[in-house]
Structure 1
Amino acid sequence: MTRPRGFLRRAGLLAALLALSACSITPPPPLVPATPGVTVVPKEKLNEVVVGVDEVKGGYNPHTLAAQSTVTTALSSLLLPSAFRSNPDGSPSLDRTLLVGAEVTGAAPYTVTYTLRRDASWSDAAPIAAEDFVYLWQRMRSEPGVVNPAGYRLISDIRSREGGKVVEVVFAEPYPAWRDLFRDLLPAHLLKDAPGGWSSALTESFPATAGPFAVRTLDQPRGEIILERSDRYWEQPAALDRVILRRASQSATLDALRSGDDQVALVRADSITTTNLAKLAETTPLTTEAVPRGEVVQVLFRPASPNLADVKVRTAVRALLNRDELIGVGARGGPGAALRADSLVVPPSRPGYRATVPQDGVDAAALLTEAGLTRPDGGKWGRDGRPLQLVIAAPGGVEPYATIANQVQRQLSLSGIESEVLTTPPDELFGELLADPGGTGGQGDRTVDIAVVPLVGSGDSGTVLASAFGCPEPDNAGSSTTFPGNPAGFCDPAVQKIVEEALTGRLLLSDALAQVEPLLWQQAVSLPLFQVTDLLVVLPQAQGVATGAPFAGPLSGAAAWRREDR
């Protein structure tokens, strides 16, 4: 049978292809010697800085007392948008990566208008808009256990214009510190209808971000967080490819600095670590600097507790505590020991700080006797044959609070007062036990009498005063609810009048504090101890690393860091 010429040409071409294929089945020789069971992958050289930290455990919502930590501050500064940020002197500065402008546009009612950039968006491409302002306002004014909510509770309404890119915030009263609001906005479109909502927001990670970095890995069990330069950020990109936060013991962090595996460390150093760093500096070029956090460790004596309702009992119990010893145990000889807190509202590192602690001696035994308590045969203090038993609460697993709570128990025991330490999950402590509007803080048949907790003084001091010591107020937005009380369960009409005048600017803060701090000391509500302080260690390879604006933390400037190996 005769084949067409086209068929023969195609058959020849097919034969040639098969021959070529047969010749190419054998792979080329490897570039490196092969090891059985091992795949060789070229290692990509990344421009990165590794930061050693004490802990990376979950709970990253910067607006809750339960989540306050060095890492929470670091992540929020890099991943969340803010209307204002702090200058090096602590004053607020408009964040132009988010806002075109923000100004007071009305006096009656007091109104502030924010104009957002059109290109500002979350990492899932949703625009940052008015709904994010509304969500944060609604949660901050009504949720228990939030950080300094007094300013948000003055807001009566939020209006939206121009597709949510113009936000009008209406206040029930003037609020001079309005620039402290709407920092670290959260993605409302992902959280407002999510199961768990606010209570589970940022528990494990960030559902969306809006900053120069994005989360590549957040591995709590391994103790590592990897942040990579965000390709969705609309402003100047970060200089680094990534920043790695790596958990380790302080001795392991020292070894990592010595070997150069870590280029930066941010730890709450004790006296041993400080000494070892000084020795390391003899052979390894490095710089160290103290970085005060926005936290002051305080011991609260809760007037809402039946055991401590009498001011004489509160005053006596406070007097039985050795404050110097509590500071020593909590600060552990680290840099925090130098920031002793002798004021009830303003942290020691903040401009305007002035010591107000009274020096008068107190006869604790006489006060307890006047309050109707007895101590038979030098045993335990009690009433009607029943010993006085106090519950001392602290956030579980959070230092230095748990350690100090145990020391408070020991000191009271030596003075004849029985007590137990209750260390409970932070969200439960602040969100339930210390947040009852009635102030009882009950857990079953137990009531929190004493709480070792932080006072967050990083915001406006008038707002801190109102949030920490103000009375529960009705909702300015028109609902019939009453806001949660302060963690101490404290309310005094004489103090409240001054608090309201300071919050709304009718009274200068310095004048308000001069009047209110003596009253608060007399009420024996709080015993401040010291300001929690980290130690920043930097090797020469990490360029541009500084302490940052007050309370913003060193990582707030990580977008401008550089890595230069020498």
Structure 2
Amino acid sequence: MTGSGGTVGPASLRAVLVLLLAGLLAACVNEPAPQVVPPAPAPSTAATPEPTTVTVGVPSLGAGFNPHLLSDQSPVTTALSTLVLPSVFRPDAEGTLQLDQTIATSARVTSTDPFTVSYELNVQASWTTNAPIAAEDFVYLWDRMRSEPGTVDAAGYRLISDVRSRAGGKAVDVVFSQPYPQWQQLFSGLLPAHILKDAPGSWTGALANGLPASGGPFRIASVDRARGEVVLTRNDLYWASPTTLDRIVLRAVDDSTMVDELRSGDLDAALPESDPTVSQLLAALGPAYRTQQAPQPVVTSLAFRSDTGPLADVRVRQAVAATLDREALRTQVAPGAVAADAFGLAPSEPGYASTAPAGPPARPDPAAAQRLMLAAGYVRDAQGRWGIGGRPLRLVIGAAAERPDDVRLAEAVATQLDAAGIGTTVVAPPAADLFVQPEVPATPPTTTTPTPSDTASGAPTTAPPTTTRSPGRATTTAPARTVPSTTVPSTTALSGSTGPPTSTTAPPASGPLRADVMVLPRPVGGDVGARYASDYGCPRPVPGGTTAVAASPTRFCFPALQSLLDGLVAGTAGVDTQAVVERVLWAQLPVLPLYQPVGLVVSTPAATESTDISPGPLSTGPFTGAQRWRTPSS
């Protein structure tokens, strides 16, 4: 439609519509898009999974964790050495040494002149500090074993004249001064030299409360002596097959607590000592709980200090031994133990046989003891007490403070000797002092358990004992034991120097004393020839040097015996040599063997199925193969 009155034509209308649509579209584009907010995630209800754990009860944590020291021998130290420290060879289930290829890919004799063993180390093997397990660890162990006192089976290390490094420390040549057929026994329980070699006192001090690095499938996460607990966790830096478990907890418990915690499931297994009381407690658990006998890798002996003092006279050693009733001591202190009647092999080892003579010292003989004392110049006074030159005979009997059963044994020995007229003083210094130092602190025992025979002997105590609870076994704390005419004399009298007799009313000595008799846990297992030479050989210079190697705690030396011991170590001795050595040792008596302690391995039904825990080989014990254990709840 058209006209002069301003009417809108079709073309104009279309233009207006286009403009309106364009405006609407522009408005739609400029309007912000709605925000889509994702819903908040629902709070997670899944809890962090508990670490898979096996908890094992043990009698105590022991004095320390160096497997090469006499003072530190214990089931816990054996466990830590097995699970944490690297070893070139390890025993299999039958006890036969096998090369551990996680540590060394090869170990063989490469020369006979000089006798040389070459080790090719696994290039992946390393400590948890990322330092490689290398030649310096071999050097450190060799150097300490040949020069430190109180070591275990050091004779083989003393034959090494050099340790040479190759391939950046990942290959080692060990050179011997003579052929040593038992070389596979060496370099077990290697220690981290990069941490220990320059630290003063590190051989004992740094290992008293743990191991500073791991080279095995587990590592030590914590050692809590106040709670009596060691926690091992999986070593996440381990280069071989990882452990199945996250943790193994070693917990010190007394016998009654152990049974309660096995029943409740707080313990999966336990390693108590074997005795009638423990057996009675375990019987209440029922037959579903498996109990296995586990001979311990030690023989408990009385070590006689034979270089000085009254026991330097072999007749006095023989008289003391003839006075003691070994079977009564065993029954009183360790009724579950097995009598040991030899110096070399222990009763649980293949080939063991008694070598004890028919009479004393295998059995007590008071008449023989009296003849020997008289022959040595001793006489009895009107009270029946032995003395010489107007001075009473007094023997200091030492037992390690950290070993309550040893302290009980020392007390029982003192009771028997006192009854026979030999004055005694019992001291309980730290194990590291007793087995290393020529003199020890005059420390009276503080953790002893009175026995019926102590009461029957009429030996008075200065005050009633009080029972206390320790992280280990339940013990009784009492003042120092005193018996008639055995009051602790002055240090001078005990050291064996000349002078007037000490008054029996003299105050207790405060200075160091010589321990004439020591309760000595002698380790067993491994090469018996090296064991003889280590325990009973004479000191000799270190090959290639002038430093004399440390003597055994007895400081015994019988030169006529040395060539026989050397032959046993070298493997050149005749078939009858060991029997001859045994006869000489029974005559000379550097130690008096008593018994081999026996423990138990107890496991709950679930733990028996998941771990198949067993006594294991003598040298590695119940924790052999623990890297393959599963948690009992799985």
Q: Give CA deviations for 1:12-48 in whole Å, capped at 9, x if unaligned.
A: 99xx99xx9xx99xx99x899xxxxxxxx94523322
Residue 560 in structure 1 maps to residue 565 in structure 2? no
- In the alignment, the residues of structure 1 paired with residue 333 and residue 310 of structure 2 have an alpha-carbon distance, to the nearest angstrom, of 26
Q: Match for residue 466 of structure 2? A: none
The 5 Å alignment of 1:68-83 reads 68-83=73-88
1:31 to 1:119, Cα distance in 2 relative to 1, 3 A: closer
Describe the SS at the equivalent of 1:466: helix
Residue pair 1:329, 1:403 contacting (<8 A) in 2 also? no
Q: Match for residue 560 of structure 2? A: 494
- In the alignment, the residues of structure 2 paired with residue 43 and residue 320 of structure 1 have an alpha-carbon distance, to the nearest angstrom, of 64
TM-score, with length taken from structure 2: 0.80
From 541, 545, 561, give the equivalent of 2:606.
541
The letter of the residue matching 2:151 is V
Q: Match for residue 473 of structure 2? A: none
User: Which segments of 5 or more consecutive residues in structure 1 lack a partner in the other structure?
Assistant: 1-8, 33-40
CA shift at 1:445, angstroms? 6.4
Residue 330 in structure 1 maps to residue 333 in structure 2? yes
- In the alignment, the residues of structure 1 paired with residue 418 and residue 519 of structure 2 have an alpha-carbon distance, to the nearest angstrom, of 17
Residue pair 1:321, 1:408 contacting (<8 A) in 2 also? yes
Describe the SS at the equivalent of 1:120: coil
Residue pair 1:292, 1:551 contacting (<8 A) in 2 also? no
Q: Give CA deviations for 1:34-88 in whole Å, capped at 9, x if unaligned.
A: xxxxxxx945233221111111255101011111000000011000000111123
Q: Match for residue 159 of structure 1? A: 164
The 5 Å alignment of 1:339-358 reads 339-358=338-357
Describe the SS at the equivalent of 2:282: helix
Residue 306 in structure 1 maps to residue 373 in structure 2? no
CA shift at 1:535, angstroms? 0.6
Residue 360 in structure 1 maps to residue 359 in structure 2? yes
Residue pair 1:434, 1:489 contacting (<8 A) in 2 also? no
The letter of the residue matching 1:324 is E
- In the alignment, the residues of structure 2 paired with residue 107 and residue 330 of structure 1 have an alpha-carbon distance, to the nearest angstrom, of 49
Residue 229 in structure 1 maps to residue 294 in structure 2? no
CA shift at 1:302, angstroms? 1.9
The 5 Å alignment of 1:263-274 reads 263-274=268-279
Residue pair 2:606, 2:632 contacting (<8 A) in 1 also? yes
User: Which segments of 5 or more consecutive residues in structure 2 lack a partner in the other structure?
Assistant: 1-28, 441-494, 498-509
- In the alignment, the residues of structure 2 paired with residue 225 and residue 317 of structure 1 have an alpha-carbon distance, to the nearest angstrom, of 41
Q: Give CA deviations for 1:286-334 in whole Å, capped at 9, x if unaligned.
A: 1111111211000112221321122111111111111111111231x33
Q: Match for residue 459 of structure 2? A: none
Residue pair 1:347, 1:457 contacting (<8 A) in 2 also? yes
Q: Match for residue 4 of structure 1? A: none
- In the alignment, the residues of structure 2 paired with residue 305 and residue 278 of structure 1 have an alpha-carbon distance, to the nearest angstrom, of 49
Residue 464 in structure 1 maps to residue 531 in structure 2? yes
Q: Match for residue 199 of structure 1? A: 204
CA shift at 1:378, angstroms? 4.4
Residue pair 1:292, 1:349 contacting (<8 A) in 2 also? yes
1:541 to 1:506, Cα distance in 2 relative to 1, 3 A: same
Residue pair 2:541, 2:548 contacting (<8 A) in 1 also? yes
Q: Match for residue 151 of structure 2? A: 146
The letter of the residue matching 2:540 is E
From 218, 221, 233, give the equivalent of 1:213.
218
Percent identity for Structure 1 against Structure 2: 44
Q: Give CA deviations for 1:431-489 in whole Å, capped at 9, x if unaligned.
A: 21379xxxx9999563221111111112210011000100001110x221111111111
Structure of larger gyration radius: 2
- In the alignment, the residues of structure 2 paired with residue 402 and residue 303 of structure 1 have an alpha-carbon distance, to the nearest angstrom, of 21
1:58 to 1:299, Cα distance in 2 relative to 1, 3 A: closer
Residue pair 1:286, 1:540 contacting (<8 A) in 2 also? yes
Q: Match for residue 382 of structure 1? A: 387
Residue pair 1:268, 1:533 contacting (<8 A) in 2 also? yes
Q: Match for residue 483 of structure 1? A: 549
The letter of the residue matching 1:253 is M
1:199 to 1:56, Cα distance in 2 relative to 1, 3 A: closer
Describe the SS at the equivalent of 2:295: strand
- In the alignment, the residues of structure 2 paired with residue 434 and residue 88 of structure 1 have an alpha-carbon distance, to the nearest angstrom, of 42
Aligned residues: 531
CA shift at 1:156, angstroms? 0.3
The letter of the residue matching 2:342 is S
The 5 Å alignment of 1:72-471 reads 72-282=77-287, 285-331=288-334, 333-334=335-336, 336=337, 339-361=338-360, 362=365, 363-433=368-438, 446-471=513-538
- In the alignment, the residues of structure 1 paired with residue 330 and residue 417 of structure 2 have an alpha-carbon distance, to the nearest angstrom, of 16
Q: Give CA deviations for 1:486-509 in whole Å, capped at 9, x if unaligned.
A: 11111111111100111111115x
Residue pair 1:297, 1:532 contacting (<8 A) in 2 also? yes
CA shift at 1:428, angstroms? 1.0
- In the alignment, the residues of structure 2 paired with residue 89 and residue 155 of structure 1 have an alpha-carbon distance, to the nearest angstrom, of 29
